[in-house]
Structure 1
Amino acid sequence: MAAKKRKLSGDYVKFGFTFIEKEELQLPQYVICMKVLSNDSLRPNLLEWHLKQQHPTLFLKTIEFFSSKPESLKRMRLDKSV
């Protein structure tokens, strides 16, 4: 049985995440540190945990702050494999 492939919801931007697509999977990528997490990490509580633990100063930022970041991340083209 194949593993469940979670899809990134647009609501996850409030935790500072966008996604990259790799081999038909959506992988969460944090817009501040650019860390790419596994597909298993696509749970709101795990995304929120990353934000609280790794970036505590950004935890109270608004959704508007994070929603402007994915576009600049895409322009940087850090993931050359996509």
Structure 2
Amino acid sequence: MEKKRQNSEDYIKYGFTDLTINGINKPQCVLCNVVLSVEAMKPSKLKRHLVTHHAEHSAKDMSFFRRYEAGIKRRRLNSSGTIQLQSNAVLQASYETAFEIARNKKPHTIGETLINPRC
């Protein structure tokens, strides 16, 4: 049986909270929302992410990261990390547009130049 790392409350001082995906706890950065692997749930690797990607926030205290953590948890639909979709109609329109671009054998970048300005 493998030893599974558990999220510690101390990880918030490195800017990470836990995210449960399919029953597995993974660290999620509260600043950039990046989800790291389970192997990265070590204080040294979490600190390295904070220093290399968010150097300007590396000296902040835990209350700063707790505010960002609260914002992330508010945006989640449930504890598994599923994000709430804003509208099914928008998603359907996006799929239909992508399908039309692919069916006409056009590059996907045509959507950026042709369709996005009209949205």
- State the 1:24 CA deviation: 1.6
Aligned partner letter, 2:40: S
Structure 2 portions without partners, runs of 5+: 84-119
- Report the aligned-residue RMSD: 1.6
Query: What secondary structure sits across from 2:18 in the alignment?
Result: strand
Q: Which residue of 2 aligns with 1:10?
A: 9
Q: Structure 1 length as normaliser, TM-score? A: 0.88
Q: Which has the higher contact order (CA 8 A, sep 6+)?
A: 1
Between the aligned partners of 2:34 and 2:66, the Cα distance in structure 1 is 17
- State the 1:50 CA deviation: 0.2
Residue 80 (structure 1) aligned to one of 66, 79, 82: 82
Larger fraction in strand: 1
Between the aligned partners of 2:8 and 2:64, the Cα distance in structure 1 is 17
Between the aligned partners of 2:73 and 2:66, the Cα distance in structure 1 is 12
Larger radius of gyration between Structure 1 and Structure 2: 2
Q: Which residue of 2 aligns with 1:68?
A: 67
Larger fraction in helix: 2
More displaced, 65-74 or 24-33?
65-74
Alignment: residue pair count: 80
Identity of matched residues, %? 36
Structure 1 portions without partners, runs of 5+: none
